[in-house]
């Protein structure tokens, strides 16, 4: 693979079998110049026939899965030529849209045995293979991910969020002297973490509420879904993308409550969890024939059951007589906000493995719609409560 280069240094990466040299020229705004000896006309392309000959001659220097994908790229390109920038992106694990189109529209399927049929793999390799089949619908993506994943960095985001949520729950469990239905304690909402309509000017509460849970039953369901779905997704798509979906779901959840359930507080990580789970389930449904995970129908049904049980518990608790009126119990609307984010922004993220999100028009459409919703909700929180003369519960 081609390594990334530092801004202040000049790095030359030489692939012997293609004799590609990359130079960084600071005088020309650090543009990438490529000397490609198989392109004497300097057109930026190489014929697929010459490309195949090079791969067959020097293919032993590449991982077999990567060689298989490169051959598919050569055979699947109907134009008879390959852009060397696509090749550079490919070797540096930054595959472009043109590469994906060449693979998907090619006349030839990937040859060789399926990744599932390979034997002699170690424990870590079997785990990576399992994650690939859990999350990716195409064999070419699964093989590429299997060869590229190195456990560095590990799926730290979901693990860190989970550890923090458990730690905060245990802290308040000891402080409030209860683990079940902590929300029934008079001191529960006095924490600086939950969202409360009287304290909505404290902006951090729109995110920090995820660290508080109504009880161990609430925490357990959220943690189970968060770890079982979030960790594999982060291993494939990275902390940045999964963190984006998770945080957008969390923020959408609290803002949705402030707009539609204006008198209720919010606690729990359900907004972020439901964003991840709904995005993953939608991705499975949209790529049903390509997803090769075992017992996918049964497991999808179980995921929907868990989501329904957790949502039903939240609805019941919201309308159950509060322990300390007039403050109502926490709202369930955050779950719905997370689902909407997962079915829009989340699906676009999961559908574009190793593709640049900034090149996807759907991503920008959903991101702009989400930004517009956030701005409208902010103005709603500033002006609507006073204009509508909403009677809010007293501050905790």
248 and 173 in one domain?
A: yes
The Cα-based distances of 244 to 92, 152, 329 in angstroms read: 24, 19, 29
Burial of 3 (0-12, 13-18, 19+ CB in 10 A): exposed
Q: What is the dihedral of CA 100, 102, 103, 105, to 10 degrees?
A: 110
C-alpha distances in angstroms, 41 versus 16, 31, 35, 49, 83?
A: 21, 20, 11, 17, 13
Contact assessment for residue 369 and residue 381, using Cβ atoms and an 8 Å cutoff: no
Q: Which range marks the domain in which residue 162 is found?
A: 156-388
Phi, psi of 15 (to 5 degrees): -100, 110
How many other CB atoms sit within 10 Å of the CB of residue 348?
19
Check whether residue 199 and residue 309 sit in a common domain.
yes
Q: 178 and 185 in contact (C-beta within 8 Å)?
A: yes
Quick check: is 139 in a domain? no
Residue 126 lies in a domain: no
- Inside any domain, residue 179: yes
pLDDT tens sequence for the chain (396 residues): 333 333 333 233 333 333 333 333 333 333 333 334 556 666 667 776 666 666 666 655 566 666 666 666 655 555 666 666 666 555 555 555 555 554 454 433 455 567 777 778 888 888 999 998 989 888 878 877 887 788 888 999 999 999 999 999 999 999 988 888 888 888 888 899 999 999 999 999 999 999 999 989 899 999 999 999 999 999 999 999 999 999 999 999 999 999 999 999 999 999 999 999 999 999 999 888 888 887 888 888 999 999 999 999 999 999 988 877 778 889 999 999 999 999 999 999 988 777 778 878 899 999 999 999 999 999 999 999 989 988 888 888
In angstroms, rounded to a whole number, what is the distance separating the alpha carbons of residues 18 and 253?
51
Q: Is residue 107 assigned to a domain?
A: no
3-state helix, strand, coil in the chain (%, to 5): 60, 5, 35
Residue linked to tokens 């399927």: 109
Question: Within this chain, do residues 54 and 186 fall inside the same structural domain, yes or no?
Answer: no
Tokens (6 digits) for 5? 């280069």
In a domain, 212, yes or no: yes
Closest CA to 246 of 260, 218, 227, 220: 227
For residue 194, what are its two tokens?
Answer: 């939950």
Domain boundary among 75, 95, 115: 95
Which CATH number does the domain housing residue 84 bear?
A: 1.10.238.10
According to DSSP, residue 329 is labeled: P
User: What CA–CA distance (Å, rounded) separates 307 from 143?
Assistant: 31
Give the pLDDT confidence score for residue 40 in this predicted structure. Answer: 62
Split into its structural domains, the chain has a count of 2
Residue 283 within any structural domain of the chain: yes
Identify whether 396 is part of a domain. Answer: no
Place of tokens 């189109």: 101
Position 127 in a domain = no
CATH number of the CATH domain containing 338: 1.20.1540.10
Given 95, 115, 141, which residue is the final one in a domain? 95
Q: Judging by DSSP bridges, how do beta strands 31-36 and 45-47 pair with one another? A: unpaired
Question: Mind telling me the catalytic residues?
Answer: 270, 335
| Token code pair at residue 341 | 């984010």
Question: Based on the domain organization, do 212 and 336 belong to the same domain?
Answer: yes
Catalogue the E-assigned strands of the chain: 20-25, 31-36, 45-47, 81-83
């Amino acid at each position: 693979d081609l390594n990334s280069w530092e801004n202040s240094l000049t790095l030359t990466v030489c692939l012997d079998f293609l004799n590609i040299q990359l130079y960084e020229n600071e005088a020309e705004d650090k543009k990438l110049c490529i000397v490609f000896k198989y392109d004497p006309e300097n057109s930026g392309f190489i014929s697929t026939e010459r490309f195949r000959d090079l791969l067959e001659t020097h293919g032993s220097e590449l991982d077999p899965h990567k060689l298989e994908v490169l051959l598919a790229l050569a055979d699947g390109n109907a134009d008879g030529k390959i852009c060397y920038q696509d090749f550079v992106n490919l070797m540096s694990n930054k595959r472009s849209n043109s590469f994906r189109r060449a693979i998907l529209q090619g006349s030839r399927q990937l040859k060789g045995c399926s990744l599932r049929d390979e034997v002699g793999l170690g424990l870590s390799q079997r785990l990576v293979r399992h994650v690939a089949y859990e999350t990716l619908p195409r064999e070419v993506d699964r093989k590429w991910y299997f060869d590229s994943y190195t456990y560095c960095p590990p799926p730290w985001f979901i693990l860190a969020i989970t550890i923090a949520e458990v730690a905060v729950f245990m802290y308040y469990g000891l402080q409030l002297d209860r683990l079940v239905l902590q929300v029934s304690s008079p001191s529960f909402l006095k924490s600086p973490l939950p969202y409360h309509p009287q304290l909505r000017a404290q902006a951090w509460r729109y995110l920090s509420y995820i660290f508080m849970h109504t009880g161990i039953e609430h925490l357990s369901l959220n943690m189970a879904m968060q770890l079982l779905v979030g960790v594999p997704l982060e291993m494939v798509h990275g902390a940045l993308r999964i963190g984006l979906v998770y945080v957008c779901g969390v923020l959408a959840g609290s803002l949705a409550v402030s707009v539609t359930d204006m008198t209720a507080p919010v606690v729990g990580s359900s907004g972020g969890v439901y964003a991840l789970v709904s995005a993953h389930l939608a991705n499975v449904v949209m790529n049903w024939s390509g997803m090769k995970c075992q017992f996918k129908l049964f497991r999808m049904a179980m995921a929907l059951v868990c989501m329904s049980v957790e949502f039903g518990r939240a609805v019941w608790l919201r309308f159950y007589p509060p322990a300390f009126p007039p403050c109502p119990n926490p709202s369930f609307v955050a779950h719905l906000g997370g689902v909407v984010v997962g079915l829009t922004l989340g699906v676009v993220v999961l559908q574009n493995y190793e593709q640049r999100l900034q090149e996807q028009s759907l991503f920008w459409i959903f991101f702009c719609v989400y930004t517009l919703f956030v701005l409208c909700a902010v103005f709603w929180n500033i002006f609507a409560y006073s204009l509508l003369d909403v009677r809010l519960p007293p501050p905790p």
